[in-house]
Amino acid sequence: MFSFCIRHLPALLIAAPLFTAFVVPLAGRLGSRVRAAWVALGAFATAGIGFALAAKVLGSGPVTYVFGALDHAQTLGAAAAFPIRIMFEVDAFSALMILISSLSSLAITIYSLAAESRQSGLDIFYAMLFLLVAGVLGMVATGDLFNFFVFLEISSLAGAALVAYRIDEGVAVEAGLKYALLSTIGALSVLIAIGILFAQYNALNLAAVASRLQFGTLDKIALVLLAVPLAMKAGAVPMHFWTPDSYAAAPSSVTAFLVVSSQASLYALFRILYTLYGHLLQFSWVTFGWFLIILGVLSAFVGVTMALTQKDVKRLMAYHSVSQTGYMLLGAGVALAVLGNAEALAAFGKTALAGALFHMFNNALYKGLLFLTAGAVFYRTGTRNLDRLGGLGHTMPWTMAFFMIGALAIAGIPPFNGFASKLLIYESVYRLSPFLSILAMVVSILTLASFVKVFHAMFLGPPRAEYAEAREVPRPMLAGMAILAAFVVLIGLLPRPFNDHMIAPAVEALLDRVGYIATILGGS
Amino acid sequence: MQMTKIVRTTADLFYPFCLTFGLYVVLHGHLSPGGGFQGGAVMATGIALLLVSRHYADITRYIRKNAMSLCEAVGLLMFIVLGLSGLVLGGSFLQNHLAGSGSWLFGSTVGPGPDPGTLATSGTVALLNLAVGIEVFGGLSIILLYMLSGLEEDTP
């Protein structure tokens, strides 16, 4: 039984959240306690499967899974002229993303069991939440381009429904519609790009397309059609305008997972740049690397300056997520810019990429934590307006402590996890261009300034009469925040084991384009 | 809103045929154009016919949102259970373990040579189509019920 489960982990990774989502409406008919128990069970099962799969991949190399085949391990082989099987390919980079998603989804589901218990329509809420989880897990695990599109759509539609879940005088519905519209335009663009690639290479399998890619004009068009919508879904700056609306309107637990969903898009962007196009025309990759760098610097700087002026705490945090995405794009862009130069890649390119991937992991943790604390404050006070909040430190000490941990981590203060990944990015980016590194540090300082303001506005000052009733939030909400906070502190104190055993293999996997192809097609 | 007797009678007569044809499209998904989604949509058209021809309140006495959302959940559940059955009884998730197995349930073997196939040769495909059909029927009917629930307020 145990070995059976281990063999089928990639299928169970998708099947478990889908099964949970589909049973929720039936469980809801039996009462809210049954539903809560079922949702908790599903969350633990999904996270457990995710952890087990990631451990297996990090321990013994990439795992492939062929759906609908007599033998799930039977990949295509070099002779396969028509690689038409639907398959998952989970390498160390996917494993890292699966870890992020599993950890966040667990913390968020526990949190929302208490946070959303006063709302109606919970059957749909949990069904959509698990569909979103399934979509994100599918996006990071799949080894097939069309399959990726399907999972992108699943996560977009579930995300849009969840953004519009709290009908707040039409604000949430508008935000949800905006998210759905932009996601659909993005997904259509991705679909056209996949069509272009399929028309030329007769394959949808990522490895098969990568092995056949010629990099002609059509491929360049496909590259743009893939890169731009994925950067938009990740919230990079010229296309960031949907993030503040959606992140502010969605329930906080959902916002925390929308961050992970954005990072799944970022994963896809990196996967396409490094694995699908990687080796081709390495001299011209300098230009595309700089495209990512410019996008990253813009996101980091514009995001943080927009955040400084916000009064709505969740809009403020949403602009900070745009800013943090900038760091990841910057790190990955530096590595991409020197991809053709083995010496520079070994000297600082790999460190930059490690910083970017480490920052993705860290960002999901502390950003999720911050959104959850904002949700906790909203849960007790009913407002997100910083001008009307104040003095909550007296009555909500745990929430304040968690907020402090998150805020110091996002500002890159040691000993919290944000420092570890930002240091890697500063050091390596400095080698390419000192100016970029200094700009990144300035952004970090502005982030700190912004969060000092938020901390002061929400928690400090004398207790306010209108929030005299405010108490600490229920235990499940504290538990959800505590899971994320524990990892923020743990990684901050011991970054090296995480870096060596999770991030470094992910960097190697992302740079090893030939290895990714060979896993599916056999040695070429 | 209630339409004339002619429209109502036509809709009543047409309704069972609509459902039957929808079910036909669903079950023959592996042989002819169509399949679960298309057939489910045809079935939901029957609901739409009834809805536009009669008072909303009259129809919802027979066709309830509750039952339709149950249809949706059951269809989805059936799909995922069939997928998991492939994992347990076959080699991988969604593996077609019934095809060619000789089982009474769509398991007939297909002879060699050009063969259009029969309903009984599909294996789990027909069952998956059925699951999708039930799900789409329920889901689209709910959408129609919600969208057309605003109609009664327009007419006195």
Q: According to the model, what pLDDT value does residue B156 have?
A: 47
Q: Which of A15, A67, A71 sits opposite B84 (nearest CB)?
A: A15
Question: Measured between CB atoms, does A26 come within 8 Å of chain B?
Answer: yes
Cα gap A307→B150, rounded to integer Å? 41
Cβ partners under 8 Å of residue A337, min gap 6: A285, A286, A289, A290, A292, A293, A349, A432
Q: According to the model, what pLDDT value does residue B116 have?
A: 67
A21: chain B residues, CB-CB within 8 Å: 76
Q: Is it the case that residue A310 has pLDDT exceeding 70? A: yes
B146: chain A residues, CB-CB within 8 Å: none
Q: Please, are residues A472 and A398 in contact by the beta-carbon 8 Å criterion?
A: yes
Q: How many CA atoms lie within 13 A of A91 on its CB side?
A: 23
- Percent of residues, chain B, with pLDDT higher than 90: 35
Question: Measured between CB atoms, does B123 come within 8 Å of chain A?
Answer: no
- Percent of residues, chain B, with pLDDT higher than 70: 94
Cα gap A110→A425, rounded to integer Å? 33
Mean pLDDT over B41-70 rounds to 87
Q: Is it the case that residue B117 has pLDDT exceeding 80? A: no
Q: According to the model, what pLDDT value does residue A79 have?
A: 53
Q: Which of A15, A21, A70 sits opposite B95 (nearest CB)?
A: A70
- Share the mean pLDDT of chain B: 86
Q: Which of A19, A26, A66 sits opposite B80 (nearest CB)?
A: A19
Terminal C-alpha separation, chain B: 8
Q: Which element (helix H / strand E) includes A64?
A: strand A63-66
Q: A118-177 pLDDT, tens per residue?
A: 888 888 899 999 999 999 999 999 989 999 999 999 999 999 999 998 877 788 889 999
Question: Measured between CB atoms, does B107 come within 8 Å of chain A?
Answer: no
Q: Is it the case that residue A486 has pLDDT exceeding 70? A: yes
Q: Which of A11, A23, A26 sits opposite B92 (nearest CB)?
A: A11
Q: According to the model, what pLDDT value does residue A200 have?
A: 92
Q: B118-129 pLDDT, tens per residue?
A: 788 888 888 999
Token pair in block for residue A64: 């492939």
Q: A61-97 pLDDT, tens per residue?
A: 899 898 888 877 777 665 566 677 888 999 999 999 9
Least confidently predicted of A97-101, A263-267, A320-324, A379-383? A379-383
Q: What are phi and psi of A312, to 5 degrees?
A: -85, 120
Question: Measured between CB atoms, does A185 come within 8 Å of chain B?
Answer: no
- Percent of residues, chain A, with pLDDT higher than 70: 97
Q: Which residue of A has its CA nearest to B97?
A: A70
A19: chain B residues, CB-CB within 8 Å: 77, 80, 84
Most B-contacting residue of A12, A18, A22 (CB-CB within 10 A), to test interface: A22
- For chains A and B, CB pairs below 8 A equal 57
Q: Is it the case that residue A429 has pLDDT exceeding 60? A: yes
Token pair in block for residue B22: 């929808």
Contact B95 A8 (CB under 8 A): no
Q: According to the model, what pLDDT value does residue A286 have?
A: 62
Mean pLDDT over A262-287 rounds to 82
Q: According to the model, what pLDDT value does residue A524 have?
A: 44
Token pair in block for residue A462: 């004398």
Number of domains in chain B: 1
When comparing pLDDT for B105 and A224, which is higher?
A224
Most B-contacting residue of A4, A6, A66, A67 (CB-CB within 10 A), to test interface: A67
Q: Is it the case that residue A506 has pLDDT exceeding 90? A: yes
Q: Is it the case that residue A281 has pLDDT exceeding 70? A: no
pLDDT confidence of A202, banded at 50, 70, 90? confident
Q: What residues does A63 pair with on adjacent strands? A: A90
Domain range for B106: 5-154
Q: According to the model, what pLDDT value does residue A446 have?
A: 94
Question: Measured between CB atoms, does B89 come within 8 Å of chain A?
Answer: no
pLDDT confidence of B95, banded at 50, 70, 90? confident
Q: Which element (helix H / strand E) includes A65?
A: strand A63-66
- Share the mean pLDDT of chain A: 90
Q: Is it the case that residue B31 has pLDDT exceeding 70? A: yes
pLDDT confidence of A288, banded at 50, 70, 90? confident
Q: Which of B73, B76, B92 sits opposite A68 (nearest CB)?
A: B92
Q: A343-369 pLDDT, tens per residue?
A: 888 889 899 999 999 999 999 999 999
Q: Which of B72, B80, B92 sits opposite A67 (nearest CB)?
A: B92
Going from the C-alpha of A185 to that of each of A34, A126, A193, A344, the distances in angstroms are 39, 26, 13, 38
Q: A371-408 pLDDT, tens per residue?
A: 999 999 999 888 888 888 888 888 899 999 999 999 99
Q: What is the length of chain B? A: 156
Q: Which residue of A has its CA nearest to B90?
A: A70
Q: Which of B72, B77, B92 sits opposite A23 (nearest CB)?
A: B77
A69: chain B residues, CB-CB within 8 Å: 91-92, 95
Cβ partners under 8 Å of residue B59, min gap 6: B50, B51
Which of residues 32 through 51 in chain B touch A, CB cutoff 8 A? none
Q: Which residue of A has its CA nearest to B95?
A: A68
